[in-house]
Structure 1
Amino acid sequence: MASGYALTVRFTLRDTDAAARFDALAAHTLEGIRREPGTVVYVVHQPVDEPLVRVFYELYADEAAFQAHEAQPHTKSFLEERGQYLANTEVAFLHEVVGKRPDAAGRP
């Protein structure tokens, strides 16, 4: 894969209770995402010193893989449920310039 289809999503959560519930929702959703063949990387980060922020980094084999991800029941459920925990959402779609990624066998 020369390049993929990538995005980051920055979620600002309402409060610490919302953050805990959002994290549980994300962990539950990840169970389904792990079975998506076109999802190369899907990682949730918490920025240092920002306990109410989560940054998702998502890399898909191509745009079709992203669309397949969006159509999955676990993704649709996440998209429907997440709003109750959020104060703000920012999405950035990315063009790859250079990089390093796992090979087809999953090795770095």
Structure 2
Amino acid sequence: MGYGLVVRFTAKDEAAGLAFDELAATALEGIRAHEPGTLVYVNHRVPDEPRVRVFYELYADRAAFDAHEEQPHVRRFLAERGQFLESFEVTFLDEVAGKLPAGSAGQ
């Protein structure tokens, strides 16, 4: 059904978290405009953890993820995110079962 990952980011402080959100929003504009293989890309805040953000990302396949990594808006995000972060952790996901929105790849 796709290729997924979850990334947990911890910002240096709350102000850095807000700046990180702005950087992520700029990247998301490019993702929406230029990445049909990116099915889901969401930045979440974590209640009671104001410095933490969790991204959930789902791609049509590994090739779509690889293409995502090469986009200029993603390269900028990857190059600039470190100034706002204390740490991050990436978890790649293997699908067991699921449901995609109507009209998504794999339906």
TM-score interval (norm. to shorter) = over 0.9
Work out whether residues 39 and 104 of structure 2, in 8 Å CA contact, stay in contact via their aligned partners in 1.
Answer: no
Deviation at 1:105, TM superposition (A): 5.8
TM-score with structure 2 setting the length: 0.93
Deviation at 1:86, TM superposition (A): 0.4
Residue 51 of structure 1 aligns to a residue whose secondary structure is strand
Aligned mates of 2:47, 2:104 — CA distance in 1: 32
Which of 10, 13, 20 lines up with 1:15 in the alignment? Answer: 13
Match of 1:29 in 2: 27
Structure 1: gaps of 5 or more residues: none
Aligned mates of 2:38, 2:79 — CA distance in 1: 20
Deviation at 1:42, TM superposition (A): 0.3
Work out whether residues 45 and 52 of structure 2, in 8 Å CA contact, stay in contact via their aligned partners in 1.
Answer: yes
Deviation at 1:104, TM superposition (A): 2.4
Give RMSD over aligned pairs.
Answer: 1.2
TM-score with structure 1 setting the length: 0.92
Aligned mates of 2:31, 2:19 — CA distance in 1: 18
Structure 1 residues 39-72: Cα deviation after superposition (integer angstroms, max 9, x where no partner): 0000011111111000000000000000000000
**Deviating 4+ runs (over 6 angstroms):** none
Aligned mates of 2:21, 2:14 — CA distance in 1: 10
Aligned mates of 1:90, 1:83 — CA distance in 2: 13
Residue 12 of structure 1 aligns to a residue whose secondary structure is strand
Match of 1:73 in 2: 72
Structure 2: gaps of 5 or more residues: none
